[in-house]
Structure 1
């Protein structure tokens, strides 16, 4: 039985990864700022992180925040993993981090580089955006009578549970380096995804397209965050919305 530490193990992805790994028979340690007994702020590190890491074979690094600090957190995690002689470090990243000059993507790419240069056995999996992220985005945009969408942008959302399954599979194996990207089953316009959300939620909103500016927007318009050749996900956005509606009845 392998001992696996999952950072961000109470989050949307990390929680599912931990469940899958336990179902596969692994001993799983869930690390987050508020989990017990492994309550650790990775940005601070310290003895609590070393204690959580002791005796760990594999680390699945899911913890991340757009508010900053991911690079510092990764540095602390890697240092603790080296000290504990961890065999395998698995990191979840995002498709397009090397093509779209978006701030959060640049941070993800920087963490990828830290993982690759860590001296540890490593695996990096890049995935497209989760259905959950689009749902939160559209819920925010629908709070006003007119939904304003970035013109000319498409997306390829993927089911988070499917990504969790793949991460768990990779964590249970040998270090694989850059794993093949994982993308959702369909490349869709933002408008088609927004209208699917509106239909599923029973909302009526006007939809308008607004051109934006900057290198990041040009990268998204060019499809740098898409991977149509890796459309391995199964569940569509409509199927995700329908399943969520059934759960909340």
Structure 2
């Protein structure tokens, strides 16, 4: 039986990866800042990280924060993984980190480069945004009477459990380097996604489209964060909304 460590194992993605691996009969250690017995802040490193990695063959690295610190956390994880003799490091990343000049994306790309140079055997999967991130965005944008959306932008949301299944599959396979991206089943305008959200939540909001400036907006408008050729996901945004809010939605 393989012992696998999942960093960020209590988070949006990591908890599903953990559940999938345990269901398949594998011993899984969950590492997060508060989950005992492996409560470790990766940004700080420390002896707790060495203890968490003792005897581990595979690490699935899901821990991440848009507030910063990912590169430092990855550095500590890589150093400890080398000391522990880890044989496979699996990293989740984001489609477009090499095309969209957003600060968080740049950090994720830097982590990819750290892993590639780590001397460890590795696998990296890039996925599009999860459905729940769009809901969070629309909740924020929907507070005023008029929902302002960036003009001309599309998205390709993917079901988090499908990404978790793919990560678990990769963790149990041989290191594969950079594997094909994973995108949701549809490339949709933000307008259509926002209207689906409003319908599912019973909210009434006017929608306006706001042109923005800058390289980051231009990259999103040009689809740098999309992977239409890898639209392998099955669950649609409407499927997610119906499950979360308990009312049917229509296109």
Q: TM-score range by the shorter chain?
A: over 0.9
- CA shift, 1:3, in A, is 0.3
- CA shift, 1:245, in A, is 2.1
Alpha-carbon distance in structure 1 between the residues aligned to 2:15 and 2:179 = 21
Q: TM-score, normalised by structure 2?
A: 0.97
What does residue 148 of structure 1 align with? Answer: 148
Residue 192 of structure 2 is aligned to residue 180 of structure 1: no
What does residue 52 of structure 1 align with? Answer: 52
What does residue 37 of structure 1 align with? Answer: 37
Task: Give the 3-state SS of the residue equivalent to 1:208 in structure 2.
Answer: strand
Alpha-carbon distance in structure 2 between the residues aligned to 1:149 and 1:227 = 21
Task: Give the 3-state SS of the residue equivalent to 1:12 in structure 2.
Answer: coil
What does residue 4 of structure 2 align with? Answer: 4
> Over residues 184-240 of structure 1, what are the superposed CA-to-partner deviations in whole Å (9 max), with x where a residue is unaligned?
000000000000000000000000011111111110000000000000000110111
Question: Which of structure 1's runs of 4+ aligned residues deviate more than 4 A?
Answer: none
Alpha-carbon distance in structure 2 between the residues aligned to 1:124 and 1:146 = 40
Task: Give the 3-state SS of the residue equivalent to 1:196 in structure 2.
Answer: helix
Residue 182 of structure 2 is aligned to residue 162 of structure 1: no
How many residue pairs are counted as aligned between the two chains? 247
Alpha-carbon distance in structure 2 between the residues aligned to 1:162 and 1:135 = 18
In structure 1, list runs of 5 or more residues that go unmatched.
none
Alpha-carbon distance in structure 2 between the residues aligned to 1:132 and 1:172 = 27
In structure 2, list runs of 5 or more residues that go unmatched.
none
- CA shift, 1:243, in A, is 1.1
Q: TM-score, normalised by structure 1?
A: 0.98
Alpha-carbon distance in structure 1 between the residues aligned to 2:58 and 2:86 = 6
Alpha-carbon distance in structure 2 between the residues aligned to 1:23 and 1:34 = 23
User: Alignment RMSD, CA only?
Assistant: 0.8
- CA shift, 1:141, in A, is 1.0
After TM superposition, the structure 1 = structure 2 runs for residues 98-117 of structure 1, keeping only pairs within 5 Å, are: 98-117=98-117
Alpha-carbon distance in structure 1 between the residues aligned to 2:121 and 2:241 = 38
What does residue 207 of structure 1 align with? Answer: 207
